[in-house]
Amino acid sequence: MTEPRGPATARIPRFEPGEEHALGLDRQWEPRSCRDRFHIPVTAAGTPVIYFCGHSLGLQPKSASAGVAQELDDWRKLAVHAHFHGRTPWYSYHEVFRETGARLVGGRAGEVVMMNSLTTNLHLMMASFYRPKHERHKILIEDSAFPSDAYAVQSQAAHHGYDPEQTAIVARPRAGEATLRTEDLEALIDERGREIAVVLLSGVNYFTGQAFAMERITEHAHRQGCVVGFDLAHAAGNLVLELHDWEIDFAVWCSYKYLNAGPGAVAGCFVHERHGNDPRTPRLAGWWGNDPDTRFQMHLAATFQPRLGADGWQLSNPPILALAPLRASLEIFDAAGIKALRARSEILTGYMEFLLHQVAGERFEILTPRATEERGCQLSIRVRRAAPDLVQALEHAGVVCDFRKPDVLRVAPVPLYNTCHEIWRFTEILRAH
């Protein structure tokens, strides 16, 4: 196996081969494990699958159905009156996430709102923060950014009358490398910072699993006068984030991956308070972003009065039945603690990396950086030969992961519900095939 670039991290324990070591690692974590709070799919034979696909869709919390059922029951019994008299009144339902959402991403209360979808939120943020001028109209993105981000950048540039291909500055890895170096990003920002209106990067790149040095990049870009935003689809619920202290201008994320809120779940949005508490910050307005004290005055208060904070970017009333599973999931995160989960994640990926290096030959290459601070809970593995055959073998063995053609497996051992023994079994399947 090709050694990935970057130093190892000393916090990871010393690993050993063998099944008993895997079981021992799990026994150490068992008192804090949240696995029994999730529904684990089963194979046709009735055994639990090895689910390493939380980077695409997280598993269902067992408490999610009760949360949805409560709102259905209030709808059945109270109808419109549930907006103010339900067990969790619908009119202010989104406010239950003011604290939990802020804790999740290191924001302050009022800087986070759960609304819309990720790309919708990205466009809303770009409408506010992409204010191009002739000499400063470029947008910096990374190579292999998630397609929706690239599409948003292209369409925003065209919307403002710029050539999309000329507007995007794409940061690419060095020849022969799979991931970006922070110093190369900084050099690019130094070189072209006066042209850049917005730096828009992923917190964790969806393809390689690389985690970017968000604080360092933000500080560097701000010195060049750039606005900085992050797509945290693969970072929220995965990394320990400090968005407020890092002075990030805005961030968006989805909630159906590591946040386990279900397919098409309501997304999240962060707006730093220096922008959110300034009513002069431009935005596309909708009635739910209006001051709640005057929101229902309708035609009697026809002028938009934005609520302070991220709430002021809301457009429509929140989808209650979709928010209930997110509420159930964030209660689990609050109970577990994101720092403890991140520590567990580093053990899982470190153990998987260790075992992968035990698999003989040059068939596999880990694209994800070796340093734990430079990756999320995903390892991207290049399969050098017979990749489709290996994918078929994994599926037959009850392993659920993601394959990106022509040759990359994306494997995510999620600390909420995956185990070291599952990692051991996974690597044994790789060894056999």
The pLDDT value recorded for residue 7 is 39
Are 149 and 231 a contacting pair, CB within 8 Å? yes
Where does 68-334 sit in CATH, by number?
3.40.640.10
CB-based contacts of 391: which residues, under 8 Å, 6+ apart?
A: 403, 409
The pLDDT value recorded for residue 432 is 87
The domain spans of the chain are 19-62+338-432, 68-334
pTM here is: 0.94
End-to-end CA distance of the chain: 15
* Cis-peptide into 406, omega within 30 deg: yes
Residue 37: closest CA among 428, 420, 417, 432:
417
Strands 227-231, 196-202: pairing kind: parallel
The pLDDT value recorded for residue 6 is 40
pLDDT digits (tens, 9 = 90+) for 354-377: 999 998 668 899 999 999 999 999
Domain 19-62+338-432 has CATH 2.60.40.10: no
Please report where in the chains the tokens 């008192």 appear, as a residue: 31
Same fold, 19-62+338-432 and 68-334: no
Exposed/middle/buried for residue 303 (C-beta within 10 Å: 0-12, 13-18, 19+):
exposed
The pLDDT value recorded for residue 261 is 98
Distance CA 254, CA 238 (A): 12
Residues in the chain with pLDDT < 50? 1-10
